[in-house]
């Protein structure tokens, strides 16, 4: 190989090595900190950069201004500062998650248990009696107000020590106790009521509130049943001859038997006619009846038809069977219609349930229980910060509602779907600003209800007029049938 060729090849290898060495600083760094800070030039002291504390890259300090390094010929190549490093040092950005990794969904944390719990149990007695167990599960004393709503039309005949009967803001009476419960203590309260009707069940819910009686800790309900209940009336079935299916089956069997009798009769009649013809032919010398004697022509016989009474009877039986079947079907369909159930808007899933106050009512996902409803005087509706002013004469009605999520997943719900119906079939939705103020600034509709959890909270409705709401409609979603709670 010529010498010039060897020299050129050695020079090319040397230049390629220099290019590789110059490109090494531009490669991606192994750590974000290395990529964020540019490498200083050779011979220039780099300022100390504090290590990251929270895992985020720190902006690198700008290098001091110095004279450019002197180079000796083409072999002295300074390290190249990458553009990405300069951009990162000017404005650091947090590392992003890989696009293939899905952002984890944060599970809803159930609300902490209340410091005071309530349990109500009815007694087995001829008159309605209830036991209310109030327990302080916290580590400090608690002042609480216990209220028991009395059913409409009943009054208290006996109250345990410290309680008094009064009329609440609604249309019913209530029994109130003011208690101070030491830490990890419990007490039992008792009431006896007058029965509105003999043997009629009575439901009396009870709630424990804060000392001022504005925010509920916990609520419970119980239904009293008479000790000796009257036996339920036994439903006696109609006799077989009065049941429509039996009648239709009897008519069908009768028609089949009649058709079989007619067929047998016609067949036997044909056999007799054939036998008579054969006997006549034998008497005429075996010529039969093909060539009858002209002197004695055979009389023409008319084909017999069923009698008119048989046709009329068959038509009457068939018509009666059709009318009876249509009447039985229509009666069954009409009897299955519930005339007491009112329609609900958007009831596409589940069946609408209605009931009185204090009774748990379940819809598709939630179990709602309305424990209490109180309304203030006219003009008592307060204006929350940032909300529009209520109309003149409006008042606030607060309902204490228990919500239990019976589904296996967290369920959101919305304040616009909770309605209070007024006289004249008018309704209003939840006043969310007033509800937030009643819950100490917490938006109860912002987070979904965790699976299997139960919350007791106040819902506020701003209504106009002097009449309180007559019905509450509560639902978990737009496509849920929801529940309707009748107010006393």
**118 in Cβ contact with 208 (< 8 Å):** yes
Q: Between the CA of residue 146 and those of 35, 61, 78, 176, 224, what are the distances in Å?
A: 65, 65, 83, 6, 19
Mean pLDDT within 83-98 = 44
Using alpha carbons only, what angle is made at residue 203 by residues 174 and 162, rounded to the nearest 5 degrees?
A: 35
- DSSP letter, residue 361: E
* Same domain membership, residue 205 and residue 133: yes
* Same domain membership, residue 136 and residue 27: no
Per the domain annotation, does 246 fall within a domain?
A: no
Mean pLDDT within 360-376 = 91
140-189, pLDDT tens digit by residue?
999 999 999 988 888 889 999 888 988 765 556 899 999 999 999 999 99
Distance CA 462, CA 474 (A): 16
Per the domain annotation, does 252 fall within a domain?
A: no
pLDDT tier at 107, thresholds 50, 70, 90: low
Per the domain annotation, does 142 fall within a domain?
A: yes
Tokens linked to 26: 């531009």
Tokens linked to 59: 């902006």
pLDDT at 204: 92
* Same domain membership, residue 67 and residue 125: no
**384 in Cβ contact with 376 (< 8 Å):** no
Query: What domain count does the chain have?
Result: 3
Give the end of a domain, one of 224, 249, 280.
Answer: 224
Give the 3-state secondary structure of residue 134: strand
| Residues spanned by the domain of 393 | 353-486
pLDDT tier at 110, thresholds 50, 70, 90: low
**Residue 401 pLDDT exceeds 90:** yes
Higher per-residue confidence, 465 vs 143: 143
Per the domain annotation, does 280 fall within a domain?
A: no
* Same domain membership, residue 188 and residue 128: yes
Per the domain annotation, does 107 fall within a domain?
A: no
Instruction: State phi, psi for 32 to the nearest 5 degrees.
Output: -60, -30
* Mean pLDDT, the chain, whole residue set: 74
Give the end of a domain, one of 224, 251, 270.
Answer: 224
Q: Which of 207, 214, 216 lies closest to 175, judged by CA?
A: 207
* Same domain membership, residue 82 and residue 120: no
Distance CA 251, CA 258 (A): 11
270-309, pLDDT tens digit by residue?
777 777 766 665 665 555 555 555 555 556 666 667 676 6
Give the 3-state secondary structure of residue 311: helix
* Same domain membership, residue 85 and residue 160: no
Q: For residue 416, give every residue at least 6 positions away whose Cβ sits within 8 Å of its Cβ, in sequence order, or none.
A: 429, 430
Per the domain annotation, does 109 fall within a domain?
A: no
Give the 3-state secondary structure of residue 176: strand
Distance CA 418, CA 472 (A): 8
Max Cα-Cα span within the chain = 159
Tokens linked to 285: 């010398």
Q: For residue 435, give every residue at least 6 positions away whose Cβ sits within 8 Å of its Cβ, in sequence order, or none.
A: 415, 444, 458, 459, 460
Give the 3-state secondary structure of residue 281: helix
* Same domain membership, residue 155 and residue 77: no
- DSSP letter, residue 241: G
Higher per-residue confidence, 97 vs 459: 459
Give the end of a domain, one of 189, 207, 224.
Answer: 224
Distance CA 24, CA 78 (A): 12
β-partners of residue 469 are none
421-432, pLDDT tens digit by residue?
998 889 999 999
Distance CA 211, CA 145 (A): 6
* Same domain membership, residue 458 and residue 397: yes
Per the domain annotation, does 86 fall within a domain?
A: yes
pLDDT at 296: 56
| Torsion (CA) 145, 150, 156, 160 in degrees, nearest 10 | -30
* Same domain membership, residue 453 and residue 404: yes
pLDDT at 88: 39
Beta strand spans in 160-288 (E): 164-167, 173-181, 186-193, 202-203, 206-209, 216-220, 223-224
312-326, pLDDT tens digit by residue?
777 777 887 788 777
Per the domain annotation, does 182 fall within a domain?
A: yes
**415 in Cβ contact with 445 (< 8 Å):** yes
Residue 65: alpha-carbon gap to chain centroid: 69
Looking up residue 163, the CATH number of its domain turns out to be 2.60.40.290
Would the pTM count as exceeding 0.85?
no
* Same domain membership, residue 180 and residue 66: no
Looking up residue 427, the CATH number of its domain turns out to be 2.60.40.1240
**427 in Cβ contact with 421 (< 8 Å):** yes
Using alpha carbons only, what angle is made at residue 470 by residues 387 and 152, rounded to the nearest 5 degrees?
A: 125
Burial class (CB in 10 A: 0-12, 13-18, 19+), 95: exposed
pLDDT tier at 212, thresholds 50, 70, 90: confident
**DSSP code per residue over 58-90:** PPPPPPPP-PPPP--GGG--PPPPPHHHHHHHH
* Same domain membership, residue 163 and residue 67: no
pLDDT at 348: 59
């Amino acid at each position: 190989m010529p010498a010039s060729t060897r020299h050129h090849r050695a020079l090319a290898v040397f230049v390629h090595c220099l290019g590789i060495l110059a490109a090494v600083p531009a490669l991606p760094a192994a750590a974000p900190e290395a990529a964020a800070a540019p490498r200083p030039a050779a011979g220039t002291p780099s300022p100390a950069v504090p290590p990251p504390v929270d895992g985020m890259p720190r902006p690198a300090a700008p290098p001091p201004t110095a004279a450019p390094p002197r180079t000796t010929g083409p072999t002295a190549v300074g390290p190249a500062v990458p553009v990405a490093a300069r951009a990162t040092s000017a404005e650091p950005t947090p590392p992003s998650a890989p696009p293939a990794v899905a952002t984890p969904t944060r599970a809803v944390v159930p609300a902490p248990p209340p410091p005071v719990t309530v349990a109500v149990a009815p007694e087995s007695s001829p008159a309605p009696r209830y036991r209310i167990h109030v327990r302080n599960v916290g580590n400090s004393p608690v002042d609480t107000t216990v209220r028991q709503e009395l059913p409409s039309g009943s009054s208290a005949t006996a109250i345990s020590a410290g309680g008094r009967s009064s009329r609440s803001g609604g249309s019913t009476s209530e029994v109130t106790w003011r208690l101070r419960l030491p830490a990890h203590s419990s007490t039992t309260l008792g009431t006896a009521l007058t029965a509105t009707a003999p043997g009629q069940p009575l439901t009396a819910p009870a709630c424990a509130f804060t000392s001022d009686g504005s925010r509920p800790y916990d609520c419970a309900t119980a239904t009293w049943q008479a000790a000796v209940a009257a036996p339920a009336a036994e439903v006696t079935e109609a006799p077989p001859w009065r049941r429509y299916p039996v009648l239709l089956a009897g008519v069908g069997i009768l028609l089949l038997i009649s058709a079989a009798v007619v067929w047998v009769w016609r067949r036997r009649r044909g056999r007799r006619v054939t036998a008579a013809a054969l006997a006549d032919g034998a008497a005429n010398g075996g010529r039969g009846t093909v060539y009858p004697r002209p002197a004695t022509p055979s009389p023409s016989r008319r084909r017999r038809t069923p009698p008119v009474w048989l046709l009329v009877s068959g038509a009457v039986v068939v018509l009666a069977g059709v009318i009876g079947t249509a009447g039985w079907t229509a009666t069954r369909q009409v009897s299955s219609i519930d005339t007491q159930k009112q329609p609900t808007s958007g009831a596409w899933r589940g069946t609408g349930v209605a009931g009185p106050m204090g009774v748990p009512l379940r819809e598709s996902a939630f179990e709602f229980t309305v424990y209490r409803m109180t309304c203030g005087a006219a003009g008592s509706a307060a204006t929350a910060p940032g909300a529009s002013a209520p109309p003149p004469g409006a008042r606030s009605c607060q309902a204490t509602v228990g919500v239990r999520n019976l589904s296996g997943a967290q369920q959101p719900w919305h304040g616009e779907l909770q309605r209070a119906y007024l006289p004249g079939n008018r309704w209003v939705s939840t006043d969310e600003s007033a509800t937030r103020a009643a819950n100490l600034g917490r938006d109860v509709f912002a987070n979904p209800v965790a699976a299997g959890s139960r919350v007791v909270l106040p819902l506020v409705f701003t209504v106009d007029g002097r009449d309180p709401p007559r019905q509450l409609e509560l639902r978990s979603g737009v496509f849920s049938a929801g529940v309707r709670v009748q107010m006393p």
